Structure 1
Amino acid sequence: MDDMNMMISVAQRTLVAGTPLLLGTIGEIICERSGILNLGVEGVMAVGAVSAFIVTLHTGNPWLGLGVAIAAGMLVSIIHAFASISLQSNQVVSGLALTMLGLGMAGLLGKPYVGKPLAVKIDDLTIPYLSDIPVVGPIFFKQSPFFYLAILLAIAAWFVLEYTLLGIRIRSTGENPQATETQGVNVSLVRYLAVIVGGGFSAMAGAHLSISYSNSWIEGMTAGRGWIVIALTIFALWNPMRAIVGAFLFGGIFVLQYLLQPLGISPNFLAMLPYLATLLVLLVGGLRDRRRLNAPAMLGEPYRRGER
């Protein structure tokens, strides 16, 4: 019984740890499928986390905090969209600048709140009857609303990208913006929307950390998850459905760090596990089928309207 309870606990924590990774990865997939590389995920997640925490602390309404976090993430993402799309600047530099800006803002705004607990947060949702199913029930049906929301949004994003006109336009702007423009599509507008929506997803991931996963503010709450999101986007082959598997796989690796600590393994080595796993998975995947590991053709490339 103790072993079974341990397995259930590990599985629950794996889903919890993977939820913000999945939310961030969905947003990054949408952004990159439009042709824009956004390395500012970590910064946007930090902005979302601090915004959600501050609003929730002062209003007692975590759902309002989530809404403000999403809005804040979208607003700061406009900076990267403007630099990358309107100014055609280097997307790597712009994304890194956004990360530094977001982390700096979170550190500054969150400093007075370090250690302060929330009176209310978004608690786990227990689904009647289903939660009573042995083993499966406690794992899948006693989770944060963010978990269910992340799964639904991943499925929705996959459907939109693959089977709707909007999805076709997003994908085509990332593959061949010149041809897309000849069809009367405003490439810049599509890319702006993709970057802004991606920022909203990243901010939602940050909000999960501050108003659901935790109930107090600490500096560095995102802990490098934004960088793992970027790697997961590649691992998922820019497919939101594959992102579900990848996010919870890496969530398990996060949990593994804490399980191995009592064995006396170096904490610094354990902190490297998610990144080592990323390199290993990409290496094995690339060796097995190189043709499938194809990024959007124009990813990271600036585009000027009217160019041929």
Structure 2
Amino acid sequence: MGEELWISYVGAAIRLSIPLLLAAIGVLFMSKSGILNIGMEGMVLIGALAGVVGAYYGGNVWAGLAAGALVCGLVGIIYAFLTVTTGADQVIIGTALNLLGLGLTTVFGRSLLGMGSETIQVDAVPVPHIPLLQNIPWIGPALFEQNLLAYLAFLLVPITSVVLYRTRWGLTVRAVGENPLATDTLGVRVHRVRYTCCLIGGMLAGLAGCALSLGILNQFTENMVAGRGFIALSAVIFGRWTPAGTMGASLLFGGADALQLRIQSFGIEIPYQFMLMFPYILTMLALAWFSGKARQPAATGKPYKSAANRHA
């Protein structure tokens, strides 16, 4: 593999892994607090549309990023209300969120952006210029010609590790995800912790959507997420609910996505339908292999009624 081809592939693999990594870190925060977010696909799709709408009407990409994060943060709060406060089944609410996200983005995309009549292009997330590092042979252009969301995503990995494993709040989050009754007995406000994690997860889902619509395509198209929200959930399982493992899984799945695009462009005699399936086949195989070997937080997906409400 020549240097130019290598740089092109690695650069594409990193770009395609960024939406997965941002969404997966959001899933990780929610999972650690005991929230199962099947609805990440819908959240990311809503964030992708909100980002383009914000950038288009706000006049710059920063308005788009803010819109994506804030809108999906609100979606995260609504998800928390339905699953934490009312105790609704998290799988059902997540599935409904996916369907709602697809429907809402189609309707609002057509009404706000005129999808179907013309393609609206918006400004892309800027790529910072890093003079010396970009000139390193083989790896420089691939690693150091990425947009700002890429650096944010990778920076969030050690930050998440420190927050979850080196702070008192992180210990509380993990305790809530393992045994909410015990933490509630100790005076921890379980619902507040879960609401906070849903807010964080929602905002990261919004940024993941922006990484697609503002970081890669510079536009919004219907159902553009194409299963990446589910792959992000798989990345957390594959990574054994750890930030570093989640990053590795996101890079693996992003690399598989980039590989199928490169193979198609080479004109190799493989049915393109198979190549389109390749990232999803890899995801299924990874889940089949690792899902039984990794233990999720014990209270994940289980509604919890606080002691105060039980005695009310």
TM-score where L is the length of structure 1: 0.94
> Take 1:125 and 1:269, find their aligned partners in 2: how far apart are those partners?
36
> Take 2:291 and 2:21, find their aligned partners in 1: how far apart are those partners?
22
Q: Which residue of 2 aligns with 1:256?
A: 259
Alpha-carbon distance, 1:277 to partner: 1.2
1:230 aligns with 2:233: yes
Q: Which residue of 1 aligns with 2:92?
A: 93
- In structure 1, list runs of 5 or more residues that go unmatched: none
Q: Which residue of 1 aligns with 2:286?
A: 281
Alpha-carbon distance, 1:89 to partner: 1.1
Q: Which residue of 1 aligns with 2:144?
A: 141
Alpha-carbon distance, 1:270 to partner: 2.0
> Take 2:281 and 2:119, find their aligned partners in 1: how far apart are those partners?
34
Q: Which residue of 2 aligns with 1:127?
A: 130
SS of corresponding position for 1:123: coil
1:25 aligns with 2:36: no
Q: Which residue of 2 aligns with 1:188?
A: 191
> Take 1:64 and 1:210, find their aligned partners in 2: how far apart are those partners?
13
SS of corresponding position for 1:103: helix
Q: Which residue of 2 aligns with 1:172?
A: 175
> Take 1:4 and 1:146, find their aligned partners in 2: how far apart are those partners?
25
For the structure 1 residues 45 and 285, does the alpha-carbon distance in structure 2 shift closer, same or farther, using more than 3 Å as the test?
closer
Residues 14 and 254, structure 2, Cα contact 8 Å, conserved in 1: yes
1:157 aligns with 2:132: no
Residues 180 and 304, structure 2, Cα contact 8 Å, conserved in 1: yes
For the structure 1 residues 282 and 219, does the alpha-carbon distance in structure 2 shift closer, same or farther, using more than 3 Å as the test?
closer
SS of corresponding position for 1:218: coil
Instruction: For 1:301, give the aligned amino acid.
Output: K
- The total of aligned residue pairs comes to 303
Residues 61 and 122, structure 2, Cα contact 8 Å, conserved in 1: no
Q: Which residue of 2 aligns with 1:296?
A: 297
Q: Which residue of 2 aligns with 1:35?
A: 34
> Take 2:165 and 2:93, find their aligned partners in 1: how far apart are those partners?
29
> Take 2:291 and 2:222, find their aligned partners in 1: how far apart are those partners?
36
Q: After TM superposition, which residue ranges in structure 1, 4 or more long, deviate above 3 angstroms?
A: 282-287
Q: Deviations over 1:201-236 (max 9, x none)?
A: 011000111112112221111111001011111001
> Take 1:102 and 1:253, find their aligned partners in 2: how far apart are those partners?
26
Over the aligned positions, Cα root-mean-square deviation in angstroms equals: 1.7
Q: Which residue of 2 aligns with 1:271?
A: 276
SS of corresponding position for 2:275: helix
Residues 122 and 214, structure 2, Cα contact 8 Å, conserved in 1: no
> Take 2:258 and 2:203, find their aligned partners in 1: how far apart are those partners?
26
1:218 aligns with 2:221: yes
> Take 2:184 and 2:286, find their aligned partners in 1: how far apart are those partners?
36
Q: Deviations over 1:102-142 (max 9, x none)?
A: 22111111124234333522132221211111112111111
Percent identical among aligned pairs is 36
> Take 1:277 and 1:14, find their aligned partners in 2: how far apart are those partners?
15
120-129 or 97-106: which moved more?
A: 120-129
SS of corresponding position for 2:214: helix
> Take 1:271 and 1:30, find their aligned partners in 2: how far apart are those partners?
30
TM-score where L is the length of structure 2: 0.93
Residues 52 and 122, structure 2, Cα contact 8 Å, conserved in 1: no
SS of corresponding position for 1:127: coil
Residues 29 and 233, structure 1, Cα contact 8 Å, conserved in 2: yes
Q: Deviations over 1:5-41 (max 9, x none)?
A: 0111000000000000000000000001100101111
**How do 1:201-216 and structure 2 match up within 5 A?**
201-216=204-219
Alpha-carbon distance, 1:286 to partner: 6.0
Residues 236 and 245, structure 2, Cα contact 8 Å, conserved in 1: no
> Take 2:83 and 2:219, find their aligned partners in 1: how far apart are those partners?
35
SS of corresponding position for 1:126: coil
51-60 or 5-14: which moved more?
A: 51-60
Residues 56 and 118, structure 1, Cα contact 8 Å, conserved in 2: no
